[in-house]
Amino acid sequence: MEIKLKARNRSETGKGAAKKMRAQGEVPAVMYGHGIEPRALAVKKDELQDVIHGEAGLNVLIDLQVVEGKEKDSHLVMIKELQRHPLKELLLHVDFLKVARDEKVTMKVPIAITGEEESLGLRAGGTLQHNLWEVEVECLPTEVPDHLFADIKGLNIGDHLSVGDLQPAPGVTMMTEPDDVILTILAPRLVVEEEAEVEEEAEAMEEVAAEEKAAEAASPESGEEQE
């Protein structure tokens, strides 16, 4: 099953044209792949957001309906790349990859962490260092997972989880190197060092205060006359 999304052909290009489209509620797009020439398109921002915020996320099959006047042609596509503004909630550009149901595609799939509350290492005070947020897989368009689970409940301090530890569904081939580290449970050394620095600073301040108090006690009170 796929989600319908309307698009229009566009001839305007460049930063100025793209900025104008975004101001009018559209997102510049391009469609390519599966034997077609790249086509410059535009889609409604609100409609695109509805698509990507669905259960399947970015890896949803889309029935892209390119409308030109009374004419309409449909293409089965997936989102190959979505560019967002690094600071603002703004969609900058979207790449649509035209696919066929019976031909495998290579897509990026996000990693979802599970078992954090039960993790031996985290419960012992360790910290989670995340190295990879997504992996690349190859499969049929209808079998692209919305995410892959990384279970860390059995990991202790010093343990790590690699791509090879993931368990994709049958028909899904991992393309990312199996030895690439997804995450590591670090010992709480940084926290200990920070606490030690705070304690040392507090001790130094106490010493300074004690020295000032001793010096003050050894000198005459200010404002009093000496005999």
CB 61 within 8 A of CB 1: yes
Backbone angles phi, psi at 223, to 5 degrees: 90, -5
CA R_g for the chain: 29
Closest by Cα among 171, 103, 162 to 131:
162
Transcribe 95-153 into DSSP letters: EEEE--TTS-EEEEEEEEEE-TTT-HHHHTT-EEEE--SEEEEEE-GGG--S-EEEE-T
Q: Which distant-in-sequence residues (6+ apart) come within 8 Å of 95 by Cβ?
A: 29, 30, 31, 32, 79, 80, 81, 82
Backbone angles phi, psi at 178, to 5 degrees: -65, -25
Indicate the pTM of the whole model: 0.72
**pLDDT tens track, the chain, 227 positions:** 689 999 999 988 788 888 899 999 999 999 999 888 999 999 999 999 999 887 767 889 999 999 887 888 999 999 999 998 877 778 999 999 999 999 999 999 999 999 999 999 999 999 999 999 999 999 999 999 989 999 999 999 999 999 999 999 999 999 999 999 999 999 986 544 555 566 677 676 776 666 666 656 555 554 444 44
